Amino acid sequence: MAKSRTKTAEALEAADFGESLFLSAGFDQLPLLTAGVDEAGRGPLAGPVCAAAVILDPEKPIEGLNDSKKLSAKKREALAPLIRERALAWGVGWASVEEIDSVNILEATFLAMERALAALSKKPELILIDGNRAPKHLTVPFETIVKGDAKVPAISAASILAKTERDHLMAQIGREHPEYGFGQHAGYGTRAHIEAIEKYGVLPCHRRSFEPVKSIIAKSAKTK
């Protein structure tokens, strides 16, 4: 049975980003221990998916929070340590390439989210998740917020942590395999990345269940 939408979720989705996480228009004050959750890396052809959970401290506001995709890499890198320093709690979780290929990217994303929440030093009273779907095994009340990373500061903070953590990992893989250019595209399916896979082959970090990686593997097997 689908989870019914609450006034809290509807109000958050309608709110402007500038409104307070704790006093958004149209509903009562949210719990202090409200965690925002978001992921990075659902779409790439390579690398794990990363999720982060953040409980912000209203006494230590962080200016400049926004959807990580709307921020420059320089701005994300400047905000990430501030989030870790000022948040009441934060956690990062991962799901591996093997898990992605085994259970599919959506379920792997949920695994990463659950692991990020488990890594929090404080148990949240409410969880706000970017998007319209949530992990099945949450034991805390939650809401899904469409485009929450651009509307809810705690989700924005989570999106920034997830994005920067994953970018750092992909840059490291890029240093180990410079011919693939991971430092530039972070594993996404750019033309240069696909051409590199065709030329140099599939690495262990590539998602074999994703196209065109799957077809490249099949084509290579036929020519052997």
**Upstream peptide bond of 31 is cis (omega within 30 degrees of 0):** no
The answer to whether 157 touches 80, Cβ cutoff 8 Å, is no
The DSSP code for 35 is: E
Report CA dihedral (181, 46, 120, 27) to the nearest 10 degrees: 100
Residue 211: C-alpha distances to residues 36, 88, 94 (Å): 31, 40, 22
The Cα 30–Cα 134 span in angstroms is: 19
Amino acid identity of residue 177, one-letter, is: H
Per-residue pLDDT of the chain (224 residues; tens, 9 = 90+): 345 456 566 666 665 554 444 434 333 467 889 999 999 999 999 999 999 999 999 999 999 998 898 999 999 999 999 999 999 999 999 999 999 999 999 999 999 999 999 999 999 999 999 999 999 999 999 999 999 999 899 999 999 999 999 999 999 999 999 999 999 999 999 999 999 999 999 999 999 999 999 999 998 887 76
Q: Which CATH code for domain 7-174?
A: 3.30.420.10
pTM, entire model: 0.88
Record the tokens describing residue 128, joined without a space. 């706000």
Alpha helices, DSSP H only, in the chain? 7-14, 73-86, 97-103, 105-118, 153-176, 182-185, 191-200, 213-223
**Domain edges within the chain:** 7-174
